[in-house]
Amino acid sequence: MTGSVEGASGDTGTDTDAESSPRAKRAVVAKRVDAGTADLSEISQLAAAAGYEVVGELSQTRTEDAAFMFGEGKVAELGALVRRTGAGAVIVDNDLGPYQTFNIGGELPDGVEVIDRFTLILEIFGQRANTRKAQLQVELAELRYELPRAEAKASLAKRDERPGFMGLGEYDESVERDIKRQISEIQAELDSIAEKEQARRDQRRDSGFDLVALAGYTNAGKSTLMRRLAAEIDVDENVDRHPDLDRTAESEDMLFTTLGTTTRRAEMEKRDVLLTDTVGFIADLPHWLVESFESTLDSVYHADLVLLVVDASEPVESMREKLVTSHDTLYERNEAPIVTVFNKIDRLAPGELAAKRGALSGVAPDPVAVSAKTGAGLAELRDRVEAELPDWERERLVLPVSDDAMSLVSWIHDHGHVDEEAYANDQVTVDFEAKPSIVARARSKAADIAATGSPTEST
């Protein structure tokens, strides 16, 4: 068994700087691993994202203790560290059971909160939930987190016949039923929202837009990349606006900056593309949390193309693990092609990009390398997006010059890419490319013009 304990500055844990934030928002982070060395960097980032100041760290390498998660001696060290630093919370980078949470709390000063990894993530999600859909998903995740704890209370209460056994609180049978009822009601409302969003996607496709989604782990730079690619034009000006369109996608060096979805028109040479940024993946999420936010990923699952963004400045093994997990998540339900984007290449040393391309060729055979920060590689990425999107059809229409024909030509300009528009002998010839559905509608409109008695050709 091994372990370590230190203050935020790596010293003996004194709290000379601890008064820089209120006690309730100062935290000690802790983690137990079965083998190797515990990495506390991500949980520290998550704590910062939730607004905590990390004032101390503790780790241990050993098998899980059923009562405390850590060994009892390490929990005593944890209590001492909390007292030295004046922390108001202990954030544990493990999935704590209800008894473990209670037992650890019993070894800490009064009023110190014990928060496990997933409770912290839910806290962050709650802070970021600015739309009705996001708020519902947070509520759903919280209820799914609480349900097994309510069931545990039921089991213990029935077995031990003592209310409040193990400090879990007095059990009421109606609590479990109420949680299940709320889960059902929230899921029904989310299903209704999903239907409306699918209708919106269908409408966008009917208008000639291709749908491209950004996916990848949180903090990979998706939002910054979106700002680089997006035109300064809001989407859906003629229909109900998506609630996230009121602001530009944020880009901060912070986990979970984007919780809902944000959609913008992207700048492309030929095609009209709508680019959607959504919540980032994060390692080791339990199934109940992934399921709660599954509807947020609908924009990825139903896209015409997915850009899988990876932080190229991370170690190769970390990139590989995230690529494999992302592919497992995406290929489960997604049928669209996936283009891997190596972002943050501005942080790489000479020769490092080529080495990583070679090392990861099995999981990322042909990635596009970019820096969303500097703009490097964006032209290549735009070309790749247009090349990977579903093929367009080419069409040539010859129409008599008339008001209806001019209206159709204008519509084709809005919904496709016109390669040539020529006028001769009271006729207009328009040679264009567009999605098959747009070509079919253009032909139908041309046929209607022909039905009025004017000659029309289509080749």
Which positions make up the binding site for Mg(2+)? 223, 258
Q: What is the DSSP string of 329-371?
A: HHHTT--S-EEEEEE-GGGSPTTHHHHHHHHTTTT-SSPEE--
Residues 132 and 346: their CA atoms lie apart, in Å, by: 37
Q: What is the DSSP string of 115-182?
A: EEHHHHHHHHHHHH--SHHHHHHHHHHHHHHHHHHHHHHHHHHHHH--TTGGG-----HHHHHHHHHH
List the one residue out of 201, 228, 405, 362 whose CA is nearest residue 307: 228
List the one residue out of 114, 86, 110 whose CA is nearest residue 22: 86
- Tokens standing for residue 10: 């790596």
Residue 98: count other Cβ atoms within 10 Å of its Cβ. 18
List the one residue out of 268, 335, 352 whose CA is nearest residue 301: 335
Residue 278: count other Cβ atoms within 10 Å of its Cβ. 23
According to DSSP, residue 107 is labeled: T
Residues 50 and 357: their CA atoms lie apart, in Å, by: 34
Which residue matches tokens 């009064």? 110
- Please state the length of the chain: 459
Q: Which residues are documented as binding site for GTP?
A: 216-223, 277-280, 343-346, 371-373
Which residue matches tokens 């759903």? 140
Residues 404 and 412: their CA atoms lie apart, in Å, by: 12
Q: Which residues are documented as binding site?
A: 216-223, 258, 277-280, 343-346, 371-373
Three-state SS at 211: strand
Taking a C-beta distance cutoff of 8 angstroms, is the pair 260, 282 a contact? Answer: no
Residue type, 28: V
Three-state SS at 302: coil
Strands 368-369 and 417-424: unpaired
Three-state SS at 427: strand
Long-range Cβ contact pairs of 249-254 (< 8 A, separation 24 or more): 249/223, 249/277, 250/223, 251/221, 251/223, 251/224, 251/227, 251/372, 253/219, 254/45, 254/48, 254/49, 254/219
Residue type, 104: I
